[in-house]
Amino acid sequence: MVNINRILCPVDLSEFSRDALRHALALAEWYEAKVTVCHVYGAPQPLLPVMGMAGSVPLSSPVQPDDVIEDVRRFFAPSLTDSGQSVEIVVREGNAAKEIVLLAEQLPADLLILGTHGRSGFERLFLGSVTEKVLRTAHTPVLTIPPPVTQPGGALYKTILCPLDFSDASIRALEYALSLAQEADARLILLHVVESLLAGGGASEMGV
C-alpha cells in the first residue's frame, strides 16, 4: 500500500511549472496529501565591469524571500484558487537541484512532482536540466510532467504503462503504478522487454 501524505512540487514560474502544480494538486486530492511548493532562486551576482570605470563592482540587489514568495503566490494564484487546497510555499537560495533534494528529505516528501522543462523552454531540455539531476540524486519517488500534457480533470490517467526489469526499483515503481491505477480507475499495462539480436520481435500484452 502506497501512502502519499506530502507532495513536493518545485516550480520556476513557467507554464511548465503550472502544469506540474495542477497534477500535484490533483494527486493531493486523491491521497488527501499536503502540497509544498518550492522555488529556488540564485544568489546575487556581481555586475559586469564597465570599461573606463574605476572602483569595486557592486553586487546586484539582494533578493528578499518574502518578495519571492509573493511572486510565486501571484503567478500560481489561478491554480491555487481553483483547487481550494491549502498549499505551503517555501523559497530557498542556492543550487536548485541540491536544494530540492535536501528539502524533500527534510519535510519529508513522499512524492516529488516537477516539469521537465524550465523558463527557457525547449532550449533547456530534459537531459542536463534540474529535473534530470533531481532524478539521479533524489531518494524520493519522482513524477515528471513533460509538455504537452493533458490538463488534470476527472480522468487524470486512463492508461498507465509500467516497464519492469524485476529489480527492486522497478518493483517499487509497480507499487506506485498500482496505487495510481486504483485511484484513477485506469488501465495498467506491465511491460518487460527481452532484448534479442533477432529482428521482428513481437510483444504480448497483459492488462491489470
Give the per-residue pLDDT at 149: 62
Percent pLDDT > 90 in the chain is 57
Q: Per residue in 82-119, pLDDT tens?
A: 877 889 999 999 999 999 999 999 999 999 999 887 66
Q: Is 80 helix (H, G, I), strand (E, B) or coil?
A: helix
CATH of domain 6-44+59-153: 3.40.50.620
Residue ranges per structural domain of the chain: 6-44+59-153, 157-208
pTM for the structure as a whole:
0.81
**If 0-12 CB within 10 Å is exposed, 13-18 middle and 19+ buried, where does residue 8 land?**
buried
Q: Per residue in 112-162, pLDDT tens?
A: 999 887 665 444 444 458 888 999 999 999 999 887 666 665 568 899 999
